[in-house]
Amino acid sequence: MRFRSADHIRAEHVGRRVTIRRRIEGGGTGDVIGILRSVGPDDLRVLRADGTDVHILRGDVVAARLITE
């Protein structure tokens, strides 16, 4: 398992499965697993399996990786 920073998640990865570990309110971290929907200079969007579209600020990302099948 090789973790990367959010800077390594780029527009060419849209449509791929990702795991993003992010800081959450109140302290601690949480993981978002799903399909990368968009990549912007300041944020990412991930579609979870339950249909939830998650907006993640790059500054909140602790680690990120592409999931290989």
- 34/37 Cα distance (integer angstroms): 9
pLDDT above 90: residue 45? yes
pTM for this predicted structure: 0.85
pLDDT per residue over 1-43, tens digit each? 455 566 688 899 999 999 999 999 999 999 999 999 999 999 9
Domains and CATH numbers, the chain: 6-66 (2.30.30.520)
Extract long-range pairs of 54-59: CB within 8 Å, 24+ residues apart. 56/20, 56/22, 56/32, 58/6, 58/7
